[in-house]
Homo-oligomer: A and B are copies of this chain.
Amino acid sequence: MTAPADNPLVTGRTAGSPLVRACRGERPATPPVWFMRQAGRSLPEYRAAREGIEMLDACLTPELAAELTLQPVRRHGVDAAVFFSDIVVPVALAGVDVRIVPGRGPVLGSPVRTPDDVAALPPLDPGALAPIVAGAAGAVAQLGTTPLIGFAGAPYTLASYLVEGGPSRDQLRARALMRTDPTTWAALLDWCADVSAAFLMAQVTGGASVVQLFDSWAGSLSVADYAGRVAPHSARTLTGVRALGVPVIHFGVGSGDLLAEMHRVGADVVGVDWRLPLDEASRRLGGAVPLQGNIDPALLAAPWPVLADHVEDVLRRGLAAPAHVVNLGHGVPPDTDPAVLTRVVELVHGWRSPVI
């Protein structure tokens, strides 16, 4: 890796892009907009390209991953690509038996619950990440000045899948382990932090200009548990990309009480879900932190005037923060009409702040 100041991946091609500028706390003339899960089932071209190919296979085929990454940029004109992958990809590449079951999510061959289970987790061979570097590089080669966002699962969310053996509503087993055996818990979260860190670094090596850490399940935690038993491991995940100067977006669902702690682990931008208006979120962060969000995905199914009013409300409230990356407050629902997403991008790009 080259040092931050010389790193062309970070300081070159995309430095003037609206996304990177907003992540640095600036307000470009046009607010940047992208959508979580924009590379996915909402697009017919995605469903065609994925036909008959399992999720993990698609993630590990660089040409396909690059193509799926580019599709929504071509179609919607969003201000960023997000790498097509899954948070469990580095877990699978480490040799853990995990499959991504359609309609359900990641499912483990056997859950990781005991000290021996954790001790037996294999280290991730950096060479195994070659398809990720290649996939990201393949997308970047076609993106011009549009940034690629790399992403990874935060240790708590990743560990929850490992302990529960799959998706779960309230992460009961993971939270029981956290409180029952803090040593095993810390070892598990460090393992998760290290595979996610390597996954992020592979995407940056391939040319990602920004990364997003997803802590989708963090909202099931009290502030005290998050701060004491999770945040240090999330910070560990980000050490490497921060040393390279790559801006970090940090997102969780139902995390309105955790925003300050989620900022503190080393985020430049805090993602907010649809529940909390951005002006209130900014207030909770002392008015000093760029925000991402938070169009309600439910309203993508509403008539255009209802959705447009809502998007404009989000844009106005986003002015309370020093900078704003426009996004949904959660992922694109699979049954979303893609034309609606394109229209949202047009609205955002045509919007001029009434204040600034």
Q: Establish whether residues B256 and A179, one from each chain, have CB atoms under 8 Å apart when the complex forms.
A: no
Known: A179-B306, A179-B310, A303-B180. A222 touches B276 (CB 8 A): yes
Does A330 sit at the interface, judged by CB under 8 A?
Answer: yes
Does A1 sit at the interface, judged by CB under 8 A?
Answer: no
A306 to B175, CA, bound (A): 12
Number of this chain's copies in the assembly equals 2
Binding stretch for chain B, among A72-80, A165-173, A238-246: A165-173
Q: Establish whether residues B276 and A175, one from each chain, have CB atoms under 8 Å apart when the complex forms.
A: no
Residues of B near A254 (CB, < 8 A) are 219, 254
Q: Establish whether residues B330 and A170, one from each chain, have CB atoms under 8 Å apart when the complex forms.
A: yes
Residue of B nearest to A333 (CB): B172
Does A224 sit at the interface, judged by CB under 8 A?
Answer: yes
A281 to chain B, nearest CB (A): 11
A257 to B171, CA, bound (A): 21
Binding stretch for chain B, among A38-46, A47-55, A294-302: A294-302
Does A131 sit at the interface, judged by CB under 8 A?
Answer: no
Does A176 sit at the interface, judged by CB under 8 A?
Answer: yes
Known: A179-B310, A257-B256. A220 touches B301 (CB 8 A): no
A277 to B223, CA, bound (A): 9
A274 to B301, CA, bound (A): 32
Residues of B near A333 (CB, < 8 A) are 172
- Taking CB atoms and an 8 Å cut-off, the chain A residues in 245-293 that contact chain B are 254, 256-257, 274-277
Q: Establish whether residues B274 and A176, one from each chain, have CB atoms under 8 Å apart when the complex forms.
A: no
From the candidates B176, B256, B275, B302, name the one contacting A301 in the complex (CB within 8 A): B176
Residues of B near A275 (CB, < 8 A) are 219-222, 257
Residue of B nearest to A253 (CB): B170
Q: Mark A311-355, 1 if CB is under 8 A from B, else 0.
A: 000000000000000000010010000000000000000000000
From the candidates B170, B174, B257, B296, name the one contacting A276 in the complex (CB within 8 A): B257
Q: Establish whether residues B277 and A176, one from each chain, have CB atoms under 8 Å apart when the complex forms.
A: no
A66 to B176, CA, bound (A): 33
A222 to B317, CA, bound (A): 14
Residue of B nearest to A301 (CB): B176
Residues of chain A at the chain B interface (Cβ within 8 Å): 170-176, 179-180, 219-222, 224, 254, 256-257, 274-277, 296-299, 301-303, 306, 310, 330, 333
6 examples of A-B residue contacts, CB within 8 angstroms: A170-B298, A172-B333, A175-B298, A176-B301, A180-B301, A256-B256
